[in-house]
Amino acid sequence: MDVRIGVIHTVKEIDVELPGDADRDSIRAAIDKALADDDNTLWLTDRHGREIAVPSAKIAYVELGSPDSERRIGFGAG
């Protein structure tokens, strides 16, 4: 599953590829908790074990992608 985080005052996005066994509901709960207060921090661990922290006050939006098994690539992916 991929998570894309938009950061305010910049056109760059933070893309995090989560492990294949990541639980969508727990990730969403962590995002909701982080966004509940500007003093919180969103912590995610990518598929390589790296920890990424984003201050909630800087988050413009969060997009949860599909699990890898649902990702379609190629000409017929439409």
Residue 71 resides in a domain: no
Residue 19 resides in a domain: yes
Residue 62 resides in a domain: yes
**Which pTM value belongs to this model?**
0.79
Residue 17 resides in a domain: yes
Residues 46-62 have pLDDT tens digits of: 999 999 999 999 999 99
Give the separation between CA 20 and CA 39, rounded to whole angstroms: 30
Residue 75 resides in a domain: no
Q: What is the span of the domain harbouring residue 34?
A: 2-66
Residue 31 resides in a domain: yes
Residue 77 resides in a domain: no
Work out how many domains the chain is built from and give that number: 1
Q: For residue 71, what pLDDT is reported? A: 53
Give the separation between CA 60 and CA 6, rounded to whole angstroms: 5
The pLDDT confidence band at residue 76, using thresholds 50, 70 and 90, is: low
